Structure 1
């Protein structure tokens, strides 16, 4: 199957910036909702069980997200129509997700929140692989480092901005949820109108067989070892990162001993420190990576720096340690995220069937699965240690350092 033509000139710049804005808003939504709004809402409903309920929310949501991502990616590969293969998933997914997300703000019970947030997560995770695959569809391999750097800067900036906005709007629940929902829906609709994808109507339709469709999600580590190592690297780094990020609000309250109001402000201000560090690092890393035509050194360095960041609160269990964490995690995470996406597009199995969406969807599960396991792991560690948050930081350091080791065996990318 022939891929859509690679973009050049002004069209390339517009698509690049549009992807950055979309991923900025999507990551802002994830960080604001998962890191601040849902934890506050859950804590208000049942303060005594907040950690366990938060872990349960993340685990159930991530199960559905993990299934939705590769399936949606595979179905987008098969989509035929005048709007292309990816655009319908981006537009429809953003609308369904945003309606469901705004509904969460009206809920007054844990399980009603769960249902609507799961619906939102499925919709958003159905559009995300379509957006990611556009990097493989529309940009040449030689330019994907700078593209990944710009998009990565948007993603990492979004993670910070979302936390900042949600932290300051935590007391205005409906406004906060509504702002995130409206922003991503409007951005995605504008995206598909401005960046018209080539029609896929003339592409040959593929025969659908349930057995072949299901078997297609298995990518043999023996036949594609680089893909397997990239998957494992992503999985381990997010196991460590999510363990801390998911409980950051509770860490500020129960480990650093801040009040509820002070912790909401602190998490927002920490996000601004992270923001400055990660934007500079993301853009610089993407430019250097393309200039040097190297991906692995940047991903490895980012992983090691993130591990160092997580040592800071262990050495200094106070706000000074948290400020160091906020700055250093921005440097490491910015470097990792800016190049990780480019590396992922270059380890995909070669296929004549145009299965990039499915393969990138499988790689995205390396982010979603830790969202299932990591909060549960953290809750178990807290339970076994009597609420000692140092155990979470120790586990996170091991996982993040392990990610750097998983990148080393990759041979097809320098």
Structure 2
């Protein structure tokens, strides 16, 4: 269809016409399974990259520059880059909503973002100063978050709501498994940082280009976007909690849970060194071991929770229970500050985080303002981008918050677990007031 067709949302089209627009890209048959498999694969690679860089490669690279100030320097890099990623995700999502091309709305953002992100990531590996590492990691973060905003929207664009729990389960399992495998690989390759960075850069570029080639996106059937006015554009990012309370509760719950989770992930290498008492080499190998334990637990929990969510038609109880399990996992190292204690932490966190990730994505697509109002999908990318910022903002605040706690407590890492536990337990209760999702 031509992009000059009148938008049925604004013209008062009949319900049948509106349904045709809303479901223009829904897939079925073998195309559905190809899309699901390749989407899971790309998220696997993306999370492998993120977790490898954030948990292993960057901490090792920064420690080599200035061992005495490693916690402070890591917090600076994460805070600066996360500011850009937080701004990028909703803006890129909104711009992808407005994109009209022969390849669809999301494809250009996925392909270009992945290639540019890969180039910046490899460039960061060659840097030997904090400012230059930060500069290129910012470039990689902006590009990859632009890609991720479009990629996340594929779930809402191309799968009907009744299938999103299963889709979310597969994608969530891929994400959490990818994060685990990424840490395992990075842990064993920490002594060859350049090669490790190159491996993940090539993987994300090839994976995303293959994704868009295997899953060609149809041209969008909606009306061409109106001319963009910056004031109205930025004003559209405000979603009133009074008018859309479920969206606000979902945002707050996600934010609190990731505030807790991100703090431990960010400082895991230093926790194993300074709290558990391992050497740098042993700490890198232990990260790989912990991730292997987490991998087994999260794959089982992730796939099982997504399928169970669709079978029983409920999201909230599973999100709530998985968050509680994450909170319990964080209490273990407080009691057992040993390698066995960290292994128990890894197993329980894998169960909780795997179940949370698998169901949370499905819940997010059902609390979008447009979904609740019955309107079209003109702002799906923007709205999901705002919810994604509930993950990105903790990447700004959590490292700074944890660095402050460590400075205040004389590098007592127990306070990181206490803080994380409080955030995660609080976040588990924010899902309960949501009324539009069972």
TM-score, with structure 2 as normaliser:
0.93
Match of 2:382 among 354, 358, 364: 358
The aligned residue for residue 395 of structure 1 is: 419
1:19-98 equivalent positions in 2, closer than 5 A: 19-98=39-118
Shift of 1:142: 0.7
The aligned residue for residue 221 of structure 1 is: 241
Shift of 1:116: 0.3
Q: Secondary structure at the match of 1:366?
A: helix
Shift of 1:23: 0.4
Match of 1:275 among 275, 292, 295: 295
1:347-386 equivalent positions in 2, closer than 5 A: 347-350=367-370, 351-352=375-376, 354-386=378-410
**2:175 is the alignment partner of 1:155:** yes
Q: Secondary structure at the match of 1:23?
A: helix
Residue 84 of structure 1 contacts residue 201 of structure 1 at CA under 8 Å; is this kept in 2? no
Q: Secondary structure at the match of 1:411?
A: coil
Match of 1:171 among 166, 188, 191: 191
Residue 82 of structure 1 contacts residue 201 of structure 1 at CA under 8 Å; is this kept in 2? no
Shift of 1:9: 1.2
Shift of 1:199: 1.1
Residue 106 of structure 2 contacts residue 151 of structure 2 at CA under 8 Å; is this kept in 1? yes
**2:111 is the alignment partner of 1:109:** no
1:305-344 equivalent positions in 2, closer than 5 A: 305-344=325-364
Shift of 1:105: 1.1
The aligned residue for residue 181 of structure 1 is: 201
Shift of 1:201: 7.5
Q: Show CA shifts across 1:15-59 (max 9, x none).
A: 111110000000000000010000000000000000000001110
Residue 81 of structure 1 contacts residue 201 of structure 1 at CA under 8 Å; is this kept in 2? no
Q: Secondary structure at the match of 2:369?
A: coil
The aligned residue for residue 283 of structure 2 is: 263
Residue 25 of structure 2 contacts residue 217 of structure 2 at CA under 8 Å; is this kept in 1? no
Shift of 1:202: 6.9
The aligned residue for residue 408 of structure 1 is: 432
Q: Show CA shifts across 1:283-314 (max 9, x none).
A: 00000000000000110011000000000100
Q: Show CA shifts across 1:147-204 (max 9, x none).
A: 0000000000011001000000000111100000000000000000100001138742
Shift of 1:129: 1.1
The aligned residue for residue 285 of structure 1 is: 305
Distance in 2 (CA, whole Å) between partners of 1:290 and 1:202 is 30
The aligned residue for residue 28 of structure 2 is: 8
**2:157 is the alignment partner of 1:143:** no
TM-score, with structure 1 as normaliser:
0.99
Q: Show CA shifts across 1:175-234 (max 9, x none).
A: 100000000000000000100001138742322111110000000000000000000000
Give the alignment's Cα RMSD to 1 decimal: 0.9
| Structure 2 unaligned residues grouped into runs of 5+ | 1-6, 8-20
The aligned residue for residue 267 of structure 2 is: 247
Distance in 1 (CA, whole Å) between partners of 2:376 and 2:113 is 27
- Structure 1 segments, 4+ long, off by >4 Å, are none
